[in-house]
């Protein structure tokens, strides 16, 4: 079962004293039938570096996009319910492309990848597994890794997918930082020019 998350946002009053600007349940949530068992909740988005800390009190509005904004960040939670092997056996990267297109990232799917939702983003993603366990699926099976509660991952613009092959839900907190590849030019690795 998916969870609701309380989000507390601080700020300053007119005298510069620290205050609570917002204390409520996070409302920018994405669940979709073509990606069963997965729920994303956005907590905060910045659209510049350095990040502005005395601006808007709500940044998670508008369309639900996979990537962080250019020169920005995205703080989100992704909950993965256990995958149904029979359902997974019927899916392909075309199904993944349809699911990711709903987040403005249909082109990020890896055609023919080892998992229907194998994808790549132009970002550095910091992840912390909060509960459960999940497989991080890479290009080659020998590189797959099982992550458990308390493990952290730094995902650096590589092809990957998340597969909950267990029996319990898994929750991962992510901070996505807009990125660019300088070394990957000409090697099939995305870069901004």
Residue 60 structural domain: 28-178
- We report the CATH number of the domain holding residue 155 as 2.60.120.10
Model pLDDT for residues 2-58, shown as the tens digit of each residue: 899 999 999 999 999 999 999 999 999 999 887 888 999 999 999 999 998 888 888
Asked if residue 140 is part of any domain, the answer here is yes
In a domain, 14, yes or no: no
How far is it, in rounded angstroms, from Cα 43 to Cα 29? 9
Q: Which of 24, 73, 76, 26 is nearest to 53 (CA)?
A: 73
Between CA 75 and CA 43 the distance in angstroms is 5
**Would you state the pLDDT for residue 193?**
46
Residue 5 lies in a domain: no
Instruction: Note the pLDDT tens digit of each residue in 143-188.
Output: 999 999 999 999 999 999 999 999 999 999 999 999 988 765 544 5
Provide the domain count of the chain.
1
Compute the distance between CA of residue 33 and CA of residue 26 in angstroms, rounded to an integer.
21
For residue 18, what are the CA distances in angstroms to 21, 60, 65, 75, 121? 9, 22, 31, 22, 36
Asked whether the whole model's pTM tops 0.85, one would answer yes
> Within a domain: residue 100?
yes
- Region 114-131: what's the mean pLDDT? 93
Does the residue 12 lie in any domain? Answer: no
Residue 160 in domain: yes
Q: Tokens standing for 5?
A: 């998350």
In sequence order, the 6+-apart residues with CB closer than 8 A to the CB of 26 are 4, 5, 6, 7, 41, 42, 43, 60
CB of 117 within 8 A of CB of 35?
yes
Structural domain contains residue 85: yes
- Give domain status of residue 23, yes or no: no
């Amino acid at each position: 079962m998916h969870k609701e998350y309380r989000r507390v946002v601080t700020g300053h009053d007119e005298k510069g004293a620290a205050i609570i600007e917002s204390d409520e349940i996070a409302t920018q949530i994405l669940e979709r039938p073509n990606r069963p068992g997965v729920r994303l909740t956005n907590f905060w988005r910045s659209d510049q570096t350095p990040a502005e800390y005395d601006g808007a009190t709500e940044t998670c509005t508008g369309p639900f996009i996979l990537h962080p904004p250019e020169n920005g960040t995205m703080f989100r939670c992704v909950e993965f319910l256990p995958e149904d092997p029979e359902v997974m056996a019927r899916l392909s990267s075309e199904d993944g492309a349809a699911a990711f297109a709903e987040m403005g990232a249909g082109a990020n799917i890896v055609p023919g990848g080892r998992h229907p939702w194998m994808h790549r983003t132009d970002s550095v993603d910091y992840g912390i597994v909060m509960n459960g366990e999940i497989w991080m699926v890479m290009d080659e099976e020998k590189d797959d890794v099982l992550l458990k509660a308390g493990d952290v991952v730094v995902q650096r613009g590589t092809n990957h997918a998340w597969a909950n092959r267990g029996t319990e839900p898994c929750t991962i907190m992510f901070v996505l930082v807009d990125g660019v590849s300088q070394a990957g030019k000409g090697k099939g690795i995305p870069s901004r020019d």
